[in-house]
């Protein structure tokens, strides 16, 4: 019974972890700039997420793999938007 409870809370936590990046995605998309967002921070989150995903793969932990697959999707979206608005979008407007 306690194992089921812990697995359930862990699953919810993994889902929440992935969803925490969505407000940043929305903010970046609406603002159309990434001036006050740290690329280093989100790139670091990506690297950590990749290694957790790989750890889960090696351990055959499907729950952790799925949770961090969602996290990688949302965090990578933030990272791509930062790069786009910081390095490509500006050049398009002022070229």
Report the C-alpha gap between 29 and 10 in whole angstroms: 30
Q: Under a CB-based contact definition with an 8 Å cutoff, are residues 82 and 45 in contact?
A: no
The architecture of the domain spanning 2-94 is: Up-down Bundle (1.20)
Give the span between the Cα atoms of 16 and 22, in whole angstroms: 10
| pLDDT tens by residue, 27-56 | 999 999 999 999 999 999 999 999 999 999
Measured distance CA(17)–CA(10) in Å, rounded? 10
Q: What is the pLDDT of residue 91?
A: 54
Contact 67, 18 (CB under 8 A): yes
**Residue 50 confidence (pLDDT):** 97
For the chain, the structural domain boundaries read: 2-94
Q: What percent of the chain has pLDDT over 70?
A: 94
Mean pLDDT, range 76-87, rounded to an integer: 95
Q: Per-residue pLDDT for 93 more than 70?
A: no
pTM of the model: 0.86
């Amino acid at each position: 019974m306690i194992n089921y409870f812990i697995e359930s809370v862990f699953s919810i936590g993994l889902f929440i972890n992935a969803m925490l990046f969505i407000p940043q995605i929305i903010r970046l998309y609406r603002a159309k700039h990434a001036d006050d967002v740290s690329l280093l921070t989100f790139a670091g989150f990506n690297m950590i997420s990749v290694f957790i995903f790989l750890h889960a793969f090696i351990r055959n932990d499907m729950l952790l793999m799925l949770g961090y697959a969602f996290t990688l999707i949302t965090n990578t979206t933030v990272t791509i938007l930062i790069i786009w608005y910081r390095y490509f979008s500006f050049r398009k407007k002022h070229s």
